[in-house]
Amino acid sequence: MWKQVYRNKFLVKANNVRYFLSEAYKCSEAWESRLQSPVLQKIRPDLFYYELDRKFQQHGKICAVDLDIFVNTINDNALLNELSDLVHKMRLTAETSNTLASTSHAVIRHHLDFSNTDLENLIYILDDRLSYGVFLDSYAANLCLDKLIKLKNYRMAAKVATFLMLQENFENPINRVLSLYASYKYLDDPQSFDDLVKNQQSESDLASEIAEKMRAADPKAGKKQKKRDKKEEIRVRINYLRNPYFDDHFDLRNSHHLVGKTFLAISQYLDGAIGNSVKLLGYTFYEKYTEGIQFIESLNNTNQLYKDVVDIVKKQLEQIKDRDKDENYQHFRTAVDKLAESSASLESASLEDAIRSLATATVNEHETKEIEEQTKIYALWGQIRETKLQDELNRVDRHNRLEKVDLLLQEMAEEEEKLWFFENETKIDLEIEKISTDHVKTQKVSRRQQKIIDDAYIPPEVSRKRN
């Protein structure tokens, strides 16, 4: 009897450790089956990396399907640095708009499968969307959230939840509940996200890097740039004022504001005491006190809130300083104090337990269906990859044939000019004379313009300094 009771207690504890998603959700067999494709079997990823890097250095571009093939052939952690390098270089080219959905998924999945202890690089790549262009899909987001929750790294898990908020993508029910659980657990130790996203490139730096790569890849553009550089630069100082703009979404950098807005985005899909509690957390950490006051007033003393949430909100408000003159803050804090006074009518159960129960029920309801859908998507991605590859091969073949035709026409024109030189000698002389005349006229015009500029020039006043 005692053995049976002990076994039951152990099972309950084991279920808590398991958390939410099962091993079947990874679809490992379907994911590994991509390597059986004849296209991927012919590729050695280490050699293919150097080939793609050479193409980028010479031509300033990487084909989207080539990058997808390279990313999907990786099967260990030896080439993760090369992977992020090529993804970044791809982002510097115009071909980035053709990036396949399977590419971003593979980048995320490789970091999850092969980088158990160092996931900071994945968070950095996901946050620096401008430089890498890697975005979470619903399935990859669930895998990422589940792994970080199992590792009890709630700060990173909450950061992943903010990515979904910025993408405005909480349509997937499992995404919502895992993001909600991660964000709530983050409140136990709400440290800043700043060290996870350090050293990001600014838009101007990235634009300069793109321009430099394009000039290096296009010799003609480089020559044109040199010609422009030879001309004298005339700089005029003008008064210019940039209007400050804050979009309150992508410009958010405060960690508490990001998590607070994530709570508000998720609360739209919830109701009852859980929905109200999550919404109150959102207004508090997002510091939207005016909307928070209106929300508390809209409760109409029904008090469908969890008591522990009111305690969290009070603690957070007490930590905020330099708000003595902020009337909205003071009114919101007063409203929260009134809620705390009526704590007897609030839900005494734990909100964390309620969120965990909601997450478990949601996963049990939707997990099997999502596994089936993802298995089909993996097969579909393989078909898309082969189709895109064939289209690219046809394009390259057509381009090569056109180049051969142009070269043949040029050779024929040169040969025709040699054969009919004496018959067309008078015509050729007239063309040479016309070119010389146009050149002389151009020189005269430029000299006249230079003289006008010199006549209108007023030198600055220079006063001699006395010792």
- Predicted model pTM: 0.77
Whole-angstrom distance, CA of residue 209 vs CA of residue 61: 13
DSSP state of 326: -
H-type helices in 19-128, by residue range?
28-32, 38-41, 45-59, 64-73, 80-91, 101-114, 120-127
Beta-ladder partners of 306? 347
Look at residue 280 in the predicted model and tell me its pLDDT: 95
Look at residue 365 in the predicted model and tell me its pLDDT: 94
Look at residue 6 in the predicted model and tell me its pLDDT: 34
Whole-angstrom distance, CA of residue 337 vs CA of residue 96: 52
Cα four-point dihedral sign 300, 304, 306, 312: negative
Whole-angstrom distance, CA of residue 75 vs CA of residue 39: 15
Look at residue 255 in the predicted model and tell me its pLDDT: 93
Q: CA 314, 309, 172 angle in degrees (round to 5)?
A: 135
Residues 99, 131 contacting (CB under 8 angstroms):
no
Cα four-point dihedral sign 105, 88, 118, 159: negative
Residues 174, 145 contacting (CB under 8 angstroms):
no
Look at residue 169 in the predicted model and tell me its pLDDT: 87
Look at residue 450 in the predicted model and tell me its pLDDT: 57
DSSP state of 306: B
Residues 263, 279 contacting (CB under 8 angstroms):
yes
Which residue's entry shows tokens 């030198």?
A: 459
pLDDT digit of tens for each residue in the chain (467 aa)?
A: 333 433 333 333 434 445 789 999 999 999 999 989 888 988 999 999 999 999 899 988 899 999 999 999 998 888 888 999 999 999 999 899 999 999 999 999 999 988 666 688 899 999 999 999 999 999 999 999 999 999 999 999 999 999 999 999 899 999 999 999 999 999 999 998 888 776 554 444 555 555 565 555 555 555 555 555 556 677 776 666 667 788 889 889 999 999 999 999 999 999 889 999 999 999 999 999 999 999 998 887 677 889 899 999 999 998 887 777 789 999 999 999 888 887 767 888 899 999 999 999 999 999 999 999 999 999 999 999 999 999 988 988 898 899 899 888 888 888 877 777 677 777 777 777 777 777 666 766 565 555 555 555 566 665 655 54
Look at residue 229 in the predicted model and tell me its pLDDT: 52
Whole-angstrom distance, CA of residue 28 vs CA of residue 366: 18
Structure tokens at 103: 């590419």
222-240 in b/e burial notation, b at 16+ Cβ within 10 A? eeeeeeeeeeeeeeeeeee
For the chain, domain boundaries: 21-197+353-400, 270-347
Look at residue 8 in the predicted model and tell me its pLDDT: 39
Residues 88, 131 contacting (CB under 8 angstroms):
yes
The SS3 of residue 386 is: helix
Structure tokens at 377: 């998507």
Closest CA to 131 of 201, 60, 214, 56: 201
Which residue's entry shows tokens 């030896």?
A: 78
Look at residue 2 in the predicted model and tell me its pLDDT: 38
| C-alpha 393 chain-centroid distance | 29
Cα four-point dihedral sign 9, 11, 12, 14: positive
What is the phi/psi pair of residue 288, to 5°?
A: -100, 75
Reduce the secondary structure of 340-379 to three states and give it as a string.
HHCHHHCECCCHHHHHHHHHHHHHHHHHHHHHHHHHHHHH
Half-sphere exposure of 455 (CA within 13 A, CB side): 6
Q: Cβ of 202: how many Cβ atoms within 10 Å?
A: 10
Which residue's entry shows tokens 């919101």?
A: 332
Structure tokens at 172: 């997937």
155-187 in b/e burial notation, b at 16+ Cβ within 10 A? bbbbbbbbbbbbeebbebbbbbbbbbbbbbbbb
Q: Which residues contact 359 (CB under 8 A, 6 or more apart)?
A: 20, 177, 178, 180, 181
Q: Which residues contact 350 (CB under 8 A, 6 or more apart)?
A: 306, 308
Which residue's entry shows tokens 């010609």?
A: 227
Residues 142, 178 contacting (CB under 8 angstroms):
yes
